[in-house]
Amino acid sequence: MKKKQVYNVQVRSFSSGANLLFNILIAVFAISCVVPFFFVVIISLTSEHALAVNGYSFWPKEFSTAAYRFIFAGDMSQKLFQSFGITVFITVVGTIVNASMTSLYAYTISRSNFPYRKFFTVFALITMLFTPGMVANYLVVTNLLNMQDTVLALILPLALGPFNILVMRTFFKKTIPDSIIESARIDGASEMKIFMKIVLPLAVPGIATISLFAALGYWNDWFNALLYIQKDELVPLQYLLMRIMNNLEYLSKNAGASAQLQGGLAALPSESARMAITVIATLPIVLTYPFFQKYFVGGLTIGGVKE
């Protein structure tokens, strides 16, 4: 008759005073993250005259939507929606490609039975330490791959990153038990089936993390568009907003060009328009992030080894 072992688990708990202190610190940190963005939104809704007279304030004396009306005026609204669609497409497709390639590469080099794991690990590490430079990348994308003025020029340069590979490699080695892999191989499962049916459900937290990094990288990328995109219909949102901001700076500094505007320099919402551009570029990510937060928490409880 087997003896039943009883494990005494000691749970550490903090005192009420320590809990209150930690809650206050976390609340202060959370407020410090939210307040700057709220401040930017308020400035974008402030008239340029109030900013010039009273400066920045959390509750301005004169609210105005002139900055947003200036950005969305005329044909610019159509270009903004078109660029927004291009950016969403690039972000979604690029994130899927990045997460797939990174997970496959990292899982391969994390397995001890793969004979070339050290070579490909060092290969990824070298690419992180030594980069070829902008000129070499430009020649490869334009002359060798002929991807100039194509969507691929905005997706493939960011499709694989050595940092995410090393993060996922460590995640696979620490969280995917070899006993599960060996059991599946004994049952006759192929390597791809093991990866799709067993490894991926257990790797949801890691994949969600690198997917978030990749999505932020694609959403905020404008430099590749500057190098490779000349067609207006392929310009992403960030690059278009950067063009608008550069035009605002030029008009603000060039008195002769600004004088041609109706009302002169006072009619140009340069400062509030810069803040409005920041809101337009940031708000979609801020609104969608809470919906993906559950995958970080829910993925921690998926899968496990039964003994």
Where are the domains positioned within the chain? 76-243+274-301
Quickly tell me which residue has 């202190």 as its tokens. 21
Q: How many C-alpha atoms does 226 have within 13 Å on its Cβ side? A: 10
What sign does the dihedral 28-29-33-34 (CA atoms) show? negative
Which of 203, 210, 222 has its CA nearest to residue 154? 222
> pLDDT of 21-73, one tens digit each?
888 998 898 888 888 888 888 888 888 777 777 777 777 778 888 888 877 87
Q: Which of 35-39, 180-184, 263-267 has the lowest mean pLDDT?
A: 263-267
Q: Please answer whether residues 242 and 198 qualify as being in contact, where contact means their C-beta atoms are separated by less than 8 angstroms.
A: no
DSSP alpha helix (H) spans, 111-203? 117-129, 134-139, 152-155, 162-175, 178-186, 191-194, 200-202
pLDDT at 293 (0 to 100)? 67
Q: Which of 112-121, 147-156, 174-183, 292-301 has the lowest mean pLDDT?
A: 292-301
pLDDT at 7 (0 to 100)? 45
Residue 146 token pair: 């002929």
Q: Which residues contact 165 (CB under 8 A, 6 or more apart)?
A: 102, 105, 106, 109, 124
Phi, psi dihedral angles at 234 (to 5 degrees): -110, 5
Q: What architecture is domain 76-243+274-301? A: Orthogonal Bundle (1.10)
pLDDT for 8 beyond 70 = no
**Alpha carbon distance 219, 241 (integer Å):** 12
Residue 76 token pair: 């610019």
Which of 143, 163, 162 has its CA nearest to residue 153? 143
More confident residue, 19 or 305: 19
In the predicted model, what is the mean pLDDT of the chain?
79
pLDDT for 188 beyond 80 = yes
Q: How confident is the model at residue 14 (pLDDT cuts 50, 70, 90)?
A: low
Percent of the chain with pLDDT strictly greater than 70: 83
Predicted structure pTM score? 0.77
> pLDDT of 146-167, one tens digit each?
888 899 999 998 898 888 898 8
pLDDT at 173 (0 to 100)? 84
Chain centroid to CA 251: how far? 32
pLDDT for 4 beyond 80 = no
Q: Which of 6-15, 39-48, 252-261 is predicted most confidently?
A: 39-48
Residue 264 token pair: 């002169």
More confident residue, 40 or 75: 40
Mean pLDDT of 210-231: 89
> pLDDT of 105-139, one tens digit each?
998 898 888 888 889 988 888 888 888 888 888 88
* Cβ count within 10 A of residue 220: 16
CA angle (218, 224, 227) in 5-degree steps: 170
Q: Which residues contact 176 (CB under 8 A, 6 or more apart)?
A: 110, 199, 202, 203
